[in-house]
Each structure stands twice: as structure tokens, then as C-alpha cells.
């Protein structure tokens, strides 16, 4: 978010929690970014996604240069323990929202004359991980969606790319990283640490910029080298 704002982009974001959204908007505006706006939206809801994109179309006169699909959720448990409701919730939040928002954004991106979509997937969509089969399935589907849209919408000057992060340090994730878990992650990650949030968001911002104008259909793994590691241990 802040990377795009720092480049002068007008950014509209969304969140389910109105108080948290308002707090973030006030902080960004206090940092000197007056072009940031936001809506309360649960992207797992089809109706709310449609309302969100109607607001975006109104704000930006029917044009959109960039769409970043960054919503995600997980319910980690053994595969045999997932209920139908669990799977439906993960699918709706992670994949269906990205697919539908891309559909809704298509005419706006096309109208802009040069559009860019960035999906935020996960290393779990590239290799097997023990953190939830439905989650991994949605993230793998997102990578394939990236490839299809990149080819189908190229004629309309719309690029589609994907960023697949490994474990990333955020306020919400930090409580999950006990020392034993961190030691395991570091041992399999060539760079020997987890990512900082800014290292992921910088990759997302790059793919939105003119500097990436000939890059489409690609998945960049921001993972400290874990997906290319064979038998090197720290």
C-alpha cells in the first residue's frame, strides 16, 4: 500500500473492520498521502464485492490501472477434519474473491488502456506445506488464474502477475512464530530468516509499475530461496 502511495498512486482499499480501516486511512493521510480512500467490505461476499467495485468505478471515472488481490484466510487442520463450511469459506475468501474482482475490474482496466493485476498467492500454492490443504489449493488455483488471464486479456493491454510469499513477519502472524517453529523455518530457508512485510509489498508494487511492462503471467516467489532448496540446511 505505502509503496504505491509513495509513487503518487490514488489507492482505494477495503477491510471488514470499519474501525481498523479508519485508523489505517488516518495514518496514511497523516503520512502525506491524501489520495487514499477505503470501503468496508467482506470480499467473501459476492454482493459486497459488487458494491465495492461500483464505488471504485465512481471514484475513478470508470477507469482502473491496478488491481491487487490480497485477501486471504486459512483454517489449518488435518485434511480429513475440514467441514463443508470450512472449505467454502476458504474458497470464497481466497479464490472466488480474486476471480470475481478480476471479472468486475476487467472493463475498468481495459478502459484505462494499460492495466495490471497482481495476485498474492503463497509458497503453499507452489510446493506442499503442512498448513492446510484447502488453503494450498486456493493459492495454486490463483497461480493458474494468473496465467490464464495474462494470455486471455493481453489483447486488452492488461497484465496479470502473481507474488507467492513464504512466512512473513506481520503483527497478526508474529504470535504464531514460537522459537521451535522459527528454527524449523530458518533451517530450510537459505537466507535463514522469515520475510518482512515490506519485502513482499515491494515486489507487488514493482509488478504494478511501468518498469514491469513486459512481465506478465509470472509468479515471483518471495521466499528466501526455500522453493529452490534441495538439501541445504542452516
Catalytic residues: 135
Total Cβ atoms within 10 A of residue 218: 16
- Ramachandran assignment for 192, one of left (phi > 0), alpha (psi -120 to 50 degrees), beta (any other): left
Contact 9, 60 (CB under 8 A): no
DSSP string of 177-213?
--HHHHHHHHHH-TT-SPEEHHHHHHHHHHHHSGGGT
**Spatial contact of 216 and 161, defined as CB atoms under 8 Å apart:** yes
Among candidates 120, 211, 222, 216, which has minimal Cα distance to 167?
Answer: 222
**Residue 98 neighbours by CB under 8 Å, 6+ apart:** 69, 71, 119, 142, 145
C-alpha of 90 from chain center = 14
The neighbouring-strand residues paired with 158 are 115
Count the residues in the chain.
234
Residue 119 C-alpha cell reads as 495476485
Amino acid at each position: 500500500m505505502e509503496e504505491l502511495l509513495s509513487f503518487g498512486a490514488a489507492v482505494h482499499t477495503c477491510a471488514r473492520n470499519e474501525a481498523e480501516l479508519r485508523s489505517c486511512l488516518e495514518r496514511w493521510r497523516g503520512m502525506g498521502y491524501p489520495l487514499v480512500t477505503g470501503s468496508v467490505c467482506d470480499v467473501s461476499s459476492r454482493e459486497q464485492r459488487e458494491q465495492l467495485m461500483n464505488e471504485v468505478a465512481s471514484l475513478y471515472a470508470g477507469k482502473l490501472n491496478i488491481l491487487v488481490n490480497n485477501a486471504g484466510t486459512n483454517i489449518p487442520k488435518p485434511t480429513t477434519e475440514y467441514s463443508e463450511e470450512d472449505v467454502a469459506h476458504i474458497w470464497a475468501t481466497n479464490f472466488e474473491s480474486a476471480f470475481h474482482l478480476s471479472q468486475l475490474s476487467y472493463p475498468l482496466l481495459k478502459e484505462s488502456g494499460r492495466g495490471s493485476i497482481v495476485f498474492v498467492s503463497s509458497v503453499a500454492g507452489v510446493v506442499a506445506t503442512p498448513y492446510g490443504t484447502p488453503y494450498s489449493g486456493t493459492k495454486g488455483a490463483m497461480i493458474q488464474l494468473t496465467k490464464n488471464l495474462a494470455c486471455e486479456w493481453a489483447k486488452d493491454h492488461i497484465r496479470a502477475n502473481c507474488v507467492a510469499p513464504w512466512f512473513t513477519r506481520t503483527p497478526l502472524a508474529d504470535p504464531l512464530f514460537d522459537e521451535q517453529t522459527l528454527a524449523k523455518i530458518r533451517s530450510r530457508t537459505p537466507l535463514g530468516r522469515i520475510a518482512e512485510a515490506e519485502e513482499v509489498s515491494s515486489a507487488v508494487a514493482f509488478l504494478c509499475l511501468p518498469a514491469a511492462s513486459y512481465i506478465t503471467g509470472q509468479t515471483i516467489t518471495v521466499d528466501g530461496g526455500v522453493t529452490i532448496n534441495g538439501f541445504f540446511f542452516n
